[in-house]
Structure 1
Amino acid sequence: MIGIFTVVTYIQQKDISERYRQEDAVLANLTRQQEQRLVNEQRIEDQRRAIDLHYQNVYSNYIEDISNVIYKQSLNQTIFANEESKMSYIRRKTLLTLREIDSERKSQLFIFLHENHLLPNKNAPNTTISLIDADLHGITIRSPITGPYYFDGLVLKSVNLVNTSFLNCRFINGFLFTGSAMSHINFHGSIFRSIPEYVTLPGLDHGIDFGCSEKDEHTFFFEHVSLDYANFKDSQLCGVVFRNVNLSYANFTTADLAWVEFISQTELMHSNWFDAKLEAVSFINSNLSSATSLDVMDEGIQQFSNVVLPNGTWQFKNDIVINGDAESDVSYPLF
């Protein structure tokens, strides 16, 4: 009996030891995994900080360099032969820097250009730089609580503006956006309107109605740009022309449009017009197929000409032609 008891006890102790060994192995493995995870997380954080430091260094060097060019060079003997060569240098430096920094610092750089009157301006082309081929995707320009940003005569040609935001900004005295990628751009709460000479800029934000009318020149142009999924919610557009623009899925909810033209094969499929206020708006050679919340009998619509209506019918001036389902999904069907 003693021998049997001894054997049983030995077997039990062996089982217990094996179980402890397995538990220790599992615990050791979990510990190694946790340590490896912490090492990986630390490595990722170190990489993130290194990248962020690189972005900051590139941006800081740019600001220092351009500030010296703008201010210190004017006090001493300039290294540039003329103003044109100076602007050319600033442009090259700007384009190269934009390719190396993140969206946050691109936004800061854009504001730096704005505050130093370097953004391309159609009213002062010889004292500003060109941003053709600039990479501005993902920037966010949000007006501060102290007052909105005013962009006077802004010109952005062939610029990457995908996923950018201009929130509660003021575009005044015309602009030209042409040949640019602007998908998913956000103009929420922004105003596009020329300002009479007798009105000071702060007046624009005190509820003054400038009386957008037919006499106002069409000086705001979106031409040959991609504005699909653009957001114009709560914006005010006066005298804006959309010429050959892709505005598919654009959002004009609660926007105020006066003397606005959508012309020359502008695509407005699936656009949203919920509670938008229209005054003297024209749709010419455009496609409104599947647009929502747009009342084609709205008295604020001045003209329909050669247009695919939301229900898929064609409007030729004052005549409506039933088009059928086969034509309702055609992009740019009219020439």
Structure 2
Amino acid sequence: MQDALIQVAGLSKTFSRRLGGLFSTRRQVTRAVDDISFTVKAGEMVGYLGPNGAGKSTTIKVLTGLLVPSGGEVRVNGLVPWQDRRRYVAGIGAVFGQRTTLWWDLPVRESLELLQHVYRVPPARFRENLSAFSGLLELGPFLNTPVKNLSLGQRMRADLAAALLHEPALLFLDEPTIGLDVVARERIREFIREVNQERGVTVLLTTHDLLDVERLCRRVMIIDHGSLLYDGALAGLQERFGGERRLVVDYSELPERPEVTGTTLLTQDGLRVTYGFRAQSAAEVIARVTAGAPVRDLSVLEPDLEGTIRRIYEGGLLQNGRT
């Protein structure tokens, strides 16, 4: 816990609403987050996943200091987020896909200059960061355009620059690529990767676009119905809960018996044979295949991450395997 930037222990958050008329004493209590614990080390980039209503947004609102939890302990960079908020927010950045921190009627440049004064960024440092981010995010063509006239992709790039101008240690991203085209999504992913790797910014990412997770995160946490179901390596998630991996082999000539130990022969079309396997490593399967007959080409197809996540939610695969 001592080297963690984010420390969460036994976090819970409940919401209560009155049922019936004005004088009714009946209340409905919803437990949005239910006793979750995790740590995030400085420099990590972690995907925080879950279906709508799982508790992701509530967790992020607690971590950014917008909500006070009902129970548990939270420390981010040594501070309690909902206490001493001025000092706390000076060390974090946040981007929420459907909301902007920029001034709607002002040009992007003037919004960023206002944020410079809000966060007391020294002028030389501001100019340096603005120049770097303008290059990485290609802000130049619309720096003098009012925010209200920007496309969604342009606004998202401007919001990313705004969130990082004051050089926070931690960046919260909530659906940063939602609604963007392929080119804009990839540009933003590249920028996020750059600030994580080159500037050491710790990133906690929530998204429904699983390609964001595959491209950016080595570690994922999965939450559902307020409970943390999985916390570990993305590769481990696929290995433990993914479907079959497939090996597609183009033989130069078919072996006498195309079956390979430890695999399932899925399809055969001329000299192309597809095998399914689960427990063995790809290297072991490839060694068996190439030992049996000459091979012209082969490729390993990994299970689809979206399919794996769907299997977890729909099949209750983690009921007895919570980590």
Q: Tell me if both proteins adopt one fold, taking TM over 0.5 as the criterion.
A: no
Structure with the largest fraction of strand: 2
| Greater RCO (Cα-Cα under 8 Å, separation 6 or more) | 2
**TM-score of the pair, normalised by structure 2:** 0.28
